[in-house]
Amino acid sequence: MKYVYGPVKSRRLGFSLGVSTVPYKVCSFDCVYCQLKETTRKTLTRKTYLKTSEILEELRTFFTHRPKDVRLDYVTFSGAGEPTLHRGIGRILKAVRRMSPVPVVVITNASTLMQERVRRDLLDADIVIPSLDAVTQDVFEKIDRPVGNMRIEDVIEGLKQFRRVYGGKMWLEIMLVRGINDSVPYLELLKKTADEIGPDRVQINAPVRPPALPWVKVPTKSTLSAAKKIFGKKCDVVC
């Protein structure tokens, strides 16, 4: 198996079968906290980075030969880069839904949701977990280090448009980095924007695994408690 791995134990998804749709660190962001280290190919170009037929064949092999006693809670598209950069992801999602009743999840940095085709492609997912670490351009560039001249306003608008057409569950993930986006005023800005997007849940995360850059620090426990209080009942602290 080159593109399908697991099932692995996940903090929020139980036992998850992972699916990679792009090669290692093909991504539109170069997040300072990424546990996969720094991005090697930063791009917003969608294309067939890996053969769709080979990904589907590995998935068929898994579901055909999966032992009955192997627990599987979700099939999760995440992998080693931004999964929505694969322009065949919509076809793959449809195929997985035909192969198995196991719920399908897509974890995305939300950078491509401004594209109508991507929004359509993700409609077959049961859960989409997009990230939003910033609501101002300076913090966006410091934490996520996006490709080109991407604007955070466009990312937020893409999230809003996707929420309007998507009928599944959306869990908005926010990664907090100490001293960058974890002050009370900034958390309140994030909360205001999250309310405008309208996710089913907000998941507060922290860089507890070794990050790409050594200066990245985990917020204090009191900060995480404050974040939980600010975001309210729909918020989960998952770090």
Per-residue model confidence (pLDDT) at position 92: 97
* Residue 77 placed within a domain: yes
| Type and span of the H or E element at 152 | helix 152-165
Asked if residue 197 is part of any domain, the answer here is no
Q: How confident is the model at residue 12 (pLDDT cuts 50, 70, 90)?
A: confident
The CA distance from 86 to 137, in Å, is 26
Between helix 184-197 and helix 152-165 the angle, nearest 10°, is 40
Spatial distance between the Cα atoms of 48 and 193, rounded to a whole number of angstroms: 33
By residue range, what is the domain housing residue 146? Answer: 4-175
201-218 residues labelled b (16+ CB within 10 A) or e (exposed): bbbbbbbeeebbeeebeb
Residue 27 lies in a domain: yes
| Domain membership flag for residue 210 | no
Contacts of 172 (CB under 8 A, 6+ apart): 129, 130, 131, 132, 159, 194, 197, 199, 201, 202, 203
| 173 or 1: which leads in pLDDT | 173
Q: What is the mean pLDDT of the chain?
A: 96
Q: Which two tokens stand for residue 106?
A: 């897509």
Please indicate, yes or no, if residue 192 is contained in any of the structural domains: no
42 pLDDT above the threshold of 90: yes
Give the pLDDT confidence of 116-175 residue by residue, as tens digits. 999 999 999 999 999 999 999 999 999 999 999 999 999 999 999 999 999 999 999 999
Q: Is the pLDDT of residue 52 over 90?
A: yes
pLDDT, mean of residues 50-54: 96
Per-residue pLDDT at 79 exceeds 90: no
Query: Of all residues in the chain, what percent carry a pLDDT higher than 70?
Result: 100
Mean pLDDT over residues 54-78, rounded? 93
Angle (nearest 5°) at CA 43 between 42 and 49: 105
Number of domains in the chain: 1
- How far apart CA 217 and CA 149 sit, in angstroms, is 27
pLDDT range class, residue 69, cuts 50, 70, 90: confident
pLDDT at 53 over 90: yes
Q: Tell me if 53 is assigned to some domain.
A: yes
Q: With contact defined as beta carbons under 8 Å apart, do 132 and 90 qualify? A: no
The pLDDT of residue 1? 86
239 pLDDT higher than 90: no
Considering the domain boundaries, does residue 226 fall inside one? no
Using an 8 Å Cβ cutoff, are 216 and 207 in contact?
yes
230 pLDDT tier (thresholds 50, 70, 90):
very high
CATH code of residue 77 = 3.20.20.70
Report pLDDT for 39: 96
**Element (DSSP H or E) covering residue 228:** helix 221-231
- Asked if the model's pLDDT at residue 68 lies above 90, the reply is no
Residue 79 lies in a domain: yes
The model's confidence at residue 32, banded by pLDDT at 50, 70 and 90, is very high
